[in-house]
Each structure stands twice: as C-alpha cells, then as structure tokens.
Amino acid sequence: MSSEVEISRGTTSSQWSGIPRLRFASLGMTQKLFTALDVYRETGAHSAAMNMAIDEALLECATVPAIRLYRWQSPALSFGYFGRFADVAGYQGERDLVRRWTGGGIVFHGTDLTYSIVIPAGDAVFTQSSMSIYERIHRALCEVLEEAGHAALLGTETGVNDPGYNCFANPVRADVLIDGRKIAGAAQRRTRRGLLQQGSIQDVYIGDGLAERFAQTLSENCSERKVDDEILNRGRELAEWKYGTEAWLRKR
C-alpha cells in the first residue's frame, strides 16, 4: 500500500446533456468552492472494482478539480480502507463487494447517486483542511436540497470510529441530514497528488437535475468532460491488480 497519508471522514439522476466545454449559470447563493470544475457524467455502469479504479485514475491525472457522477453495474457494497472483510463477508454473493481507497464504514450502493470529487495538489482548495473541504462540499449539497424544499442540515456529532459500522445509520460531523436522518456522507483520502472525496446521496427525492445543480453549486465554471480511453485503461489496470483482487478485498 502507498505510504501516502490517508484522512477519512464519515461514510462515506437525471440524464446529463450538453456539449464539451458546457458552462452552467451560477446559482449565485453562496461562494463557490471551486473557480473551475470538470464534470464527468457517465451514462454506463461499472463494476464496484472499476468504479473505485476510475476514481483513483482521475486523481492521478486531474489538473483542475473534477467531479465524477456514476452508477453501479449491480447492487454493491463498499467499505473503508481500514474496514474488516469479516464485517461484510455475509453479503458476498448478493452484492458486489469492494474495499475503498478512502476510509469510513459500510455503504450500500445501487439506487444512490454516487460521486467522487478530485482536487489536485496544485489547486488552492487543496491547502484547506480535509474537514473544511468535506463541510463545504456538503454545504453546497444542502443548498441544492433546500432549493428543492428539503430542510437539510449538517450533522454535529463526532460519530463512531469502528470501520465496521453502517455509515448511513451513524451520522458524523458535517454529514447531511433531513429530519434527523442521514442522506449524504463521504470519505476522503489525501495524497501527494491531491485529495479524493467519495460520497453517496441516498433516500431523498428532489426530482430531475440533482447532479447538474450540485455541480453548479460547487462552481460557476463547469465544463463537461468524458472519461476517455486513457482514464479507462488506467482504471482497468487498477481494477485488475488492486481493487478486483481477493488480496485487496481481504486486506484486513
């Protein structure tokens, strides 16, 4: 495993349309986190191992902050880097299991909106604390939810340290809550290349366009990108020798 530093927190659609270099109007409600943001919206679905691999591949190659929104090929379960395989082994056979590179606990995937945000080390936002970034991303999500009529708030609890817990049953500080119920959480990894945040939004209906509005709230300068062959090929390599292996899955 890499010697790079890991910092983790918490747990952790609509059809995306447009043309390359598409720009969206600013929502103009809060200060944007990013001056520019590349948006990767995939129409296809991937295995759990490939989804994790593509996220890491994006971290390797991104030169500006990026958000990737994606789906799962089949019902899946991801668990944090420090999690115990024994805690999820009972789901093998009914869900596609994968150990994340980020921390946090157990997350069930399938109908959720899953995203990853990559912040290159050269971007000014990278110098902020991991918690500050986590909170600001979730404040942007709260803004979108509030516009849809939901009274969304950030959690204030310290949370639990056991990596075997169900993330969405245990809110932690800066997770997104509606009526006391956690609907969004995330986990991070910080390396010399940059910061990766992987998040999941679950059990909340706000109509079409959540992905688009989330990106707009993070930056007024959003550019649509494609997960190209270079990223996919690197992702396949990472899935083959890392995320898709029994050694990685059973690391602990």
Among all residues, which ones are annotated catalytic?
A: 167
Residue 116's Cβ-count burial label (10 Å; 0-12, 13-18, 19+) is buried
Query: Which residues are within 8 A (CB) of 246 and not within 5 positions of it... i.e. 6 or more apart?
Result: none
Q: What is d(CA 163, CA 86) in angstroms, rounded to the nearest whole number?
A: 11
Contact 251, 59 (CB under 8 A): no
